[in-house]
Amino acid sequence: MTTLRPNPGILDIAPYVPGESGSGETTKPIKLSSNETPLGPSPHAVAAFQAVSSELARYPDGSATELREAIAQVHGLDAQRIVCGAGSDELLSLLAQAYIGAGDEGILTEHGFLVYPIAILANGGTPVVASERDLHADVDAILEQVTSKTRIVFLANPNNPTGTYIPSSEVRRLREGLGEHVLLVLDGAYAEYVREADYDAGADLVATTDNTVMTRTFSKIHGLAGLRLGWAYCPEKIADVLNRIRGPFNVSMPAIAAAAAAVRDVEHTKKAVEHNNLWLPWLATELRKLGLTVTPSVANFVLIHFPEAGAVTAARADEALKQRGIYLRRVGAYGLDNALRMTVGTGDENKAVIAALTEILSASGRGAAAE
């Protein structure tokens, strides 16, 4: 009897493990492990979600027209070139499905988002890792990995879990250095948080090239992670391809309604940015006072490095924090064994983490700063 086997590459996938939440605890935990916004969704999004609750027996608009038009209006884009999906994860997977096959290669950076190799392997391709420079994407290193087999380059900008970015000039240099046969996917999940003048999420490149796609999400600044919703801005031919292979009703009716309201509520988005601008530098300063190293971040999280020779490792700190009901993100799967990623939370949550780490490090004898 022939043994039923999955397609090549699938059993090589390490399943994605989400951040812990401590949901079984009797007291409400402090969950700062998944880069969710502490402000929650726009009240207008919640109201729009509730307003369609009586229509759940109906199929949604398969083209997500209302949502695409809202995105286009707010961001100044062409609605016909926008494709919506169940989270940007689905769109990343669809892009790999469309353009990667057996024997092809997809490039990601050393500490790139874990969904990229999953998408590549699931379609029979080979993930190729380009080294980074000081936890930043390195354009030259990426270009060195390009071969005739390369079909896609995935670039998270800003990157998760490092929080670093490369300027638009470097992204353009990357695009110019890639051959016409290579699709450049610019993952801008945290784009709304970036305030640097030399940053661009990629819409201009999409508009001026035939082989660049920008993906975005509603899971972060818009606070709709539970609805699973993302969007891609594509050249017309790529949008046509994605619309041919996506599920005909891949975005639910409540998601369409809530997301359209969320993206139009620019004041709520502004408040989320202002909150992040206040607490991101505060966290970095307080963590460094404890003797910990913090990678400069432009997103809504910080990457905290513990001293290699210190008494408190990232693993030990993580366990001690969980005992106090605080959940950060272990990033060993990204090759960062002695680091934790922390989402910017509410003011009280941020202060609670600093107080807890102060206590944990002090209890070790000398603390991180003295190691």
- Please report, as a single letter, which amino acid is at residue 341: R
Answer whether 77's CB lies under 8 Å from 213's CB. no
- Give the model's pLDDT for residue 369: 43
pLDDT at 265 over 90: yes
Q: What angle do CA 353, 333, 212 make, to 5 degrees?
A: 105
Q: Which residue has the higher pLDDT, 13 or 234?
A: 234
User: What is the mean predicted confidence (pLDDT) over 110-116?
Assistant: 96
- Give the model's pLDDT for residue 318: 97
- Give the model's pLDDT for residue 186: 98
Query: pLDDT category, 242, cuts 50, 70, 90?
Result: very high
Burial 81-120 (b: 16+ CB within 10 A, else e): bbbbbbbbbbbbbbbbbbbbeeebbbbbbbbbbbbbbbbb
Q: Which of 14-18, 310-314, 348-352 has the highest mean pLDDT?
A: 348-352
- Give the model's pLDDT for residue 309: 80
- Give the model's pLDDT for residue 4: 73
Quick one: tokens of 33?
Answer: 């492990």
Query: pLDDT category, 370, cuts 50, 70, 90?
Result: very low
User: What is the mean predicted confidence (pLDDT) over 271-293?
Assistant: 98
Distance, CA of 294 to chain centre: 19
The full set of domain ranges for the chain reads 10-40+267-370, 43-265
Of 57-66, 75-84, 104-113, 304-313, the least confident? 304-313
Cα(243)–Cα(180) distance, integer angstroms: 22
Domain 10-40+267-370 has CATH 3.90.1150.10: yes
pLDDT at 56 over 70: yes
- Give the model's pLDDT for residue 196: 97
Q: What angle do CA 237, 242, 243 make, to 5 degrees?
A: 95
Quick one: tokens of 370?
Answer: 């003295």
Cα(336)–Cα(330) distance, integer angstroms: 8
Query: pLDDT category, 365, cuts 50, 70, 90?
Result: low
CATH, domain range 43-265:
3.40.640.10
pLDDT at 371 over 60: no
Structure confidence by residue, pLDDT tens digits, 118-159 = 999 999 999 999 999 999 999 999 999 999 999 999 999 999
DSSP, collapsed to helix, strand or coil, labels residue 254 as: helix
Query: pLDDT category, 11, cuts 50, 70, 90?
Result: confident
Query: pLDDT category, 230, cuts 50, 70, 90?
Result: very high
Burial of 348 (0-12, 13-18, 19+ CB in 10 A): exposed
Answer whether 232's CB lies under 8 Å from 91's CB. yes
pLDDT at 368 over 60: no
Structure confidence by residue, pLDDT tens digits, 300-348 = 999 999 998 888 999 999 999 999 999 999 999 999 999 999 999 999 9
Establish whether the linkage from the previous residue to 161 is cis, with ω within 30° of 0. Answer: yes
